[in-house]
Structure formats: structure tokens, C-alpha cells
Amino acid sequence: MNRSLLWRGLLIVGLGAMAYWGGFPPQQKLNLGLDLQGGIHLVLQVESQDAVKAEAEKDVEILVREASDEGIPSLPTTRVTDTEFEVGAVPAERRAAFEKVANDYLPGWDWSRSGDGYSFSMRAANEKAIRDGAVNQALQTIRNRVDQFGVAEPVIARQGLDSERIVVQLPGVDDPERVKRLIKNTAFLEFRLCVYPEVGGGTATREEILGRYGGRLPADVEILPQDIRDPSTGRVVAQSFFALEARRVITGRDLKSASPSRGQFGQPVVQFMLTAEGAQRFGKATGENVGRGLAIVLDGKVVSAPRINSRITDSGIIEGSFTDQEVQDLVTTLRSGALPAGITYLEDRTVGPSLGQDSIESSLKAGLLSALCVVLSMLIIYKLSGVNALIGLGLNVVLLFGALAYFDATLTLPGIAGMVLSIAMAVDANVLIFERIKEEMRAGRSVRGAIDAGFSNALSSILDSNITTLIAALFLFQFGTGPVRGFAVTLSIGILGTLFCGIFVSRWLFDLTYSARPQARSISI
């Protein structure tokens, strides 16, 4: 055996052995997708308008604060729409200072003067950036929450480049309702001072609160509900209401850490630590309001309103009628950060494990039947040369499983379809080569010359068909999500295996077979 045959053979055997060791048995070495082991498939809509509104509110607060520092206190502002607001009664001698503040601190807004007031409108580019940022932040927050929940091999991706939809696929989930609650929870945490009842622990109705203000709330007061639960069942049985200051003392963004703990009477609570800046503001607010109620607001609802007994700085607890699981989920959402906007479920599909097993069994039956047809066809049509093709085909499958295991890819039902398609293309490559060899033999060439010419002449057609398919697969992987990417991954690996086995391995088998018969006059093809 010459040296070329030896090193090529060692390369083929080495790759095959590594792939077999890494990818077999597949049920232990490969990650199965949602459609093969069950789980949940969600399509979420990010309500990015919420983020635009929140950003506009923040910018208005910045404008009022900075204008006050420039000697323009109590600046009146009126919201027109989520992206427009008006400012009135700016003294003539302070207009230049106000306009400088507007240019310096609100670069994403256009403004114009009308009499003593100003009109502000958010720029389209700024609004688009806020919407994109909200989707990207929601994507990262959901990924953080799912990672902390411990789901293996989740698929969390944006559905399209500019879409505000997020696709979430969680295989192997046995409690889908809990995961859906965990994903959707906004977990926007606020601490606000109580206006009425001023001392925490009191209750009131909405009508009672409105009656205190003559039916019209001041601009700096909001009414928020609190759920009253049955201690034995945990179900909501009634609601009470609080009038709270609109100004937030601190929010969830000021949290440094959160962890589950136990309260004074052994009930589940959330213990938290604040950042240095948050602790400073919290200490100032609690120190100045000893004896008042401090409402802890989560997602627009009061969970508790304890009385401030002394100054609180860098730590505290969040207590309410929580179960242990609710405390753990709240800690998870607080650690991963609040969603920047609301989430709406557009699609909610659950795949049971039994359905996944049925998919595997059906795929195996289809794969075995197609493989049997391929084997019989190659042996009947190409005789012993068909064995050459089948050896390469078997090695291609081994390499495919090994590569999927090496890259820690997830095998899905469309991925199996990509695998079958790549096998079909591998057979097609062998057919092209064998037919060209037969043509060269009919033209009177020797066995060695026919093999050389057959591989050489078929190479361009094989490369053309496989490379164009590979390019299409790469586009599917780049712009697709979930099962589409699974199809693209297996197809891409299968195509690379096809080129290696159909050209390199098949040629080596021919060379090995006829190296000992240099004068052979016929070929079984």
C-alpha cells in the first residue's frame, strides 16, 4: 500500500472513530428538541409602547428637575400623547436657560415655542431605538429568567430582524404554567409613601379615597389596589385600595440582591439589599417619614404597606401573602431584572412527552424504510460499487451524529428532515460519479482512467449543487428560529459530510480496491 492510501485511510478511520465515540448512542449524547421530548412553545408580543411611555415620563422628570436647578421651579407640564408633551409659563428671562436645558438633556426630542410655552415631540429615530431596546432587553430578561429556572437547551430568539415578537421554546418542561408565569411577570418593584391611609395596615375603598379629594385626584397622587387573600387557601377574596404618592422612593433597579427568607412569624418573605445610591435615597425618605406607611408595589399592586418605625438604609424585606414557590419565583424575576414593557401571549402550544415519543418512532420508521430503499437501489443498479456508496453513506451518518454532539446542537423533527435530505444528496453525488465512470468505460478508457475522469468530470456538478444548498442553509440558520435553525444545522453538517464522503472517501475506496489490481479491465458498476 502506497503512502497516500495509508494516510488517507488513517484520516478516514480516525474521523469515523472520533465521531462514533462522541455521538453514539444518540439518545444519550444528543439534545432532543421540543418536538421530540415535549415542552412548551410560546410566541410573545413585546408591548414596546409601554417602554416609549416610560421613557417619555423619565425625560419629563429630567427636564423639570434640571429646569428647577436653573432657577425655573414648579414647571407645569401636560402630557398630550405618549410621544408628545407641552410645557407652559416659562418666564421670558429664563427661556434661554430653559432651551439650553432642553437641548442638553433631551437630545431625542424636537421642540418648538408657542407663546409662553413649549411643545415637545419625540423624534422617530429615538422612538425606534427605544422600541428596539425594549425588545432586546425583554429578550435578555426572559433568557435570564429561563436560565435561573434551569431549563436545558431553551430556544429564545427574536422572530425576525425588526419584529417585536419573541419565540420561546422550552423542551422537557414539566410545569408549563409556572414557567409561563415566570416569563410574563413584569416584576416592576416600587416603594411609595402612603397618602391615605397614611399609616400602613389600614384599608379603604376607591370611593372613600376619591371622596376625600372631591372626586378628582391631585396630579401627584395615585390609587393602587391590594389583593386580600384567604390565609387558608391563598385565594383573593377582596380588594382594598391605597392613595400613594406618584413619586417613587426607590424601584427594583436600585436592588443589589434578593433572596428568599423567613419573616418574624416564619412566613416566606423576600430579603433584599440596595445599591449605594438606592440606600442613600431610601434612608433619606424613611428617616423623614417615620410613622407613615410605606407601600411596596409590585406590577401595579400593593403587596404590603408596613409602618416606618425607624430609618432604613441598605436592606429590608418584602412581605405579603406569599407561598414558598411564589417567593422563589419573585426572587428569580427580581434578580433577572424587570421587563421593560408588558408581554402578550400570541401563541401558546404545549407538546406532551408521548407526542414527542410518537414523533421519534415515526421518524425512525420513515428513516429505516427510506434507508432500505436506498440500499436496495444502489446494490441492484451499481452492484459492488453500490457497496462503496453505502460505506460512505454510513460514515456520513456517523459524522453527522458526532458533529451534532460536538457542537452541543439540539436535534429536532425538522432536523431529522435535514438529515434525510443530506443523505439523499449524498446518494445523488455517488450517482453522478458512477454514471460518469460508466460513460468513460463505454468510451474505451481503462479502469484507472475511467475512475480518474469520472471523479474529475462530476466534481463541478457535485460542488455546485451542494454549495448552493449550503448557502441556502446558512441563510435559514441566520434568519430562522427554532425548528428552522435545527433543519439548517443538520442540513449544513450533512452537506459537508456529503462532500467529504462522496468525493474523498469514495475515491479512497476505489483506489484501495484497484491498487492491488493495476491491470484490471472491468469494474463492477
Written in H, E and C, the secondary structure of 37-85 is HCEEEEEEEEEHHHHHHHHHHHHHHHHHHHHHHCCCCCCCEEEEECCEE
Give the residue, 358 or 426, on which the prediction is more confident: 426
Q: One-letter amino acid identity for 44?
A: L
What is the structure's pLDDT at 339?
72
Work out whether strand 410-411 and strand 31-32 pair parallel, antiparallel, or are unpaired.
Answer: parallel
Strand order from edge to edge, sheet including 165-171: 155-158, 165-171, 39-47, 342-351
CATH number of 3-37+352-515, picked from 1.20.1260.60, 1.20.1640.10, 3.30.530.20, 2.60.120.10? 1.20.1640.10
Which fold would CATH assign to domain 48-127? Alpha-Beta Plaits (3.30.70)
Q: Looking up cell 428560529, which residue turns up? A: 481
Rg of the chain's alpha carbons, rounded to an integer? 34
Q: Do the Cβ atoms of 141 and 336 come closer than 8 Å?
A: yes
Average pLDDT for 511-515: 81
**Angle, to 10 degrees, between the axis of helix 3-23 and the axis of helix 353-406?**
150
Give me the helices (H) in 289-345, please. 324-336
What CA–CA distance (Å, rounded) separates 295 from 124? 37
Which fold would CATH assign to domain 41-47+128-348? Gyrase A; domain 2 (3.30.1360)
Whether residue 156 is predicted with pLDDT greater than 60 in this model: the reply is yes
Identify which of 22-31, 103-112, 153-162 has the greatest average pLDDT: 103-112
DSSP state letters, 384-447: HHHHHHHHHHHHHHHHHHHHHHHTT-EE-HHHHHHHHHHHHHHHHHHHHHHHHHHHHHHTT--H
What is the structure's pLDDT at 83?
92
Average pLDDT value for the chain:
83
Length of the chain: 525
Query: Each residue of 315-347: pLDDT tens digit?
Result: 877 776 677 877 777 777 666 666 777 788 888
What CA–CA distance (Å, rounded) separates 64 from 77? 8
pLDDT band at 524 (very low <50, low <70, confident <90, very high): low
Whether residue 200 is predicted with pLDDT greater than 60 in this model: the reply is no
Strand order from edge to edge, sheet including 77-81: 77-81, 84-87, 117-122, 109-114
Q: Do the Cβ atoms of 222 and 293 come closer than 8 Å?
A: no
Instruction: Return the SS3 of 376.
Output: helix
Give whole-number Cα distances, 32 to 26, 28, 494, in Å.
10, 10, 18
Task: Give, as one character, the DSSP assignment of residue 198.
Answer: S
Q: Which long-range contacts (CB under 8 A, 24 or more apart) does 10-13 make?
A: 12/395, 12/504, 12/505, 12/508
- State in Å, rounded, how far the first CA of the chain is from the last one: 24
- C-alpha 34 chain-centroid distance: 15
Give the residue, 236 or 116, on which the prediction is more confident: 116
Query: Each residue of 257-302: pLDDT tens digit?
Result: 778 888 777 888 888 888 888 888 888 888 998 888 888 887 788 8
Closest-CA residue to 91 (of 116, 112, 122, 65): 116
pLDDT band at 65 (very low <50, low <70, confident <90, very high): confident
What is the structure's pLDDT at 239?
85
pTM for the whole structure: 0.58
pLDDT band at 173 (very low <50, low <70, confident <90, very high): confident
User: Which residues make Cβ contacts (< 8 Å) with residue 410, sequence separation at least 6?
Assistant: 30, 31, 32, 33, 153, 155, 171, 486
In sequence order, what are the beta bridge partners of 81?
Answer: 84
Average pLDDT for 437-459: 86
Q: Looking up cell 400623547, which residue turns up? A: 81
Where along the chain do its domains lie?
Answer: 3-37+352-515, 41-47+128-348, 48-127
User: Which residues make Cβ contacts (< 8 Å) with residue 242, sequence separation at least 6?
Assistant: 194, 195, 196, 197, 204, 209, 223, 224, 226, 293, 295, 302, 305
Closest-CA residue to 518 (of 5, 12, 11, 10): 5
